[in-house]
Amino acid sequence: MKETVNNDLKKRILALFEHNRLNVNSASRILGIPQRTLNRQVNEDGKVGVELVRSLLNNFPEVSSAWLLMGVGSMFESAQMFDSRQCSPFYSDLPVSAGRKDALDHSAEVPTGYISMPQWYAQFYFPVSGTSMEPEIYSGDIIGVNRVESLREIDPDKIYMIVTTESRMIKRCYPDKENSELLWCVSPNYPSFTINKKDICAVFHVVNRIERL
């Protein structure tokens, strides 16, 4: 499953290069990544690094982070607009893992529907798979999320969706007291674990939950 996620990410990166008429040589100069390293990550069997993802988002600010990281929506932010004051895109084919890291499916590239909850505006809505956050969030619930711009904004009392190049998961988080590079991920039903901040591509605050029927 991790290999599939990595390959899907590579396809989107290559699609971005093609759109901008870039090859590995010209892209490496823009991104500040050695040509050999970039070629190994996108054209060979190497794993896409977090540094590459961050450089892409920094150098192509018009590109949607949700599309690049998760295959959600369109390549460009402006193309995703759907009366954001009233509706938010829902991706039923992109479950967020609550405990089962293998429960990922990156097949969706367009919304399967839209959710209108103006009192709880969220950028995106996703279904939840897994039981680690019960009884706060159940498998089958739908969560609404908003992008967190900085890890300094992390609040241990809130729930977050953490996105890496290999997984999407929902947890409570707090920084390690001894190592500032580590972030603890906590859930009611699974053992806590740490994740290195450099492995995190994006963090979204869970702002809304729709209970399963």
Say which CATH number the domain at 130 has: 2.10.109.10
pLDDT of amino acid 75: 84
Considering the domain boundaries, does residue 177 fall inside one?
yes
Q: Which domain holds residue 104?
A: 78-210
Say if residue 92 is in the same domain as residue 193.
Answer: yes
Say if residue 27 is in the same domain as residue 92.
Answer: no
Contact 86, 122 (CB under 8 A): no
Say if residue 99 is in the same domain as residue 187.
Answer: yes
Contact 104, 95 (CB under 8 A): yes
β-bridge partners, 124: 145
Q: How confident is the model at residue 183 (pLDDT cuts 50, 70, 90)?
A: very high
Considering the domain boundaries, does residue 198 fall inside one?
yes
CA 137 to chain CA centroid, nearest Å? 19
Say if residue 111 is in the same domain as residue 8.
Answer: no
Say if residue 40 is in the same domain as residue 87.
Answer: no
pLDDT at residue 38 above 90? Answer: yes
Say if residue 46 is in the same domain as residue 104.
Answer: no
Considering the domain boundaries, does residue 46 fall inside one?
yes
Contact 160, 150 (CB under 8 A): no
Q: How confident is the model at residue 59 (pLDDT cuts 50, 70, 90)?
A: confident
Percent of the chain whose predicted confidence (pLDDT) is above 90: 37
Say if residue 39 is in the same domain as residue 103.
Answer: no
Say if residue 117 is in the same domain as residue 175.
Answer: yes
Say if residue 43 is in the same domain as residue 134.
Answer: no
Considering the domain boundaries, does residue 170 fall inside one?
yes
pLDDT at residue 184 above 90? Answer: yes
pLDDT of amino acid 98: 63
Say if residue 121 is in the same domain as residue 194.
Answer: yes
Q: Give the chain's length.
A: 213
Considering the domain boundaries, does residue 21 fall inside one?
yes
Tokens found for residue 187: 């859930």
Considering the domain boundaries, does residue 144 fall inside one?
yes
What does the mean pLDDT of the chain come to?
Answer: 82
Considering the domain boundaries, does residue 36 fall inside one?
yes
How many domains does the chain divide into? 2
Q: Which of 89, 136, 84, 134 is nearest to 112 (CA)?
A: 89
Say if residue 107 is in the same domain as residue 16.
Answer: no
pLDDT of amino acid 58: 85
Considering the domain boundaries, does residue 71 fall inside one?
no
Could you give phi then psi for residue 10, rounded to 5 degrees?
A: -60, -40
pLDDT at residue 30 above 90? Answer: no
Residues 37-62, mean pLDDT to the nearest whole number: 89
Say if residue 106 is in the same domain as residue 14.
Answer: no
Residues 66-93, mean pLDDT to the nearest whole number: 71
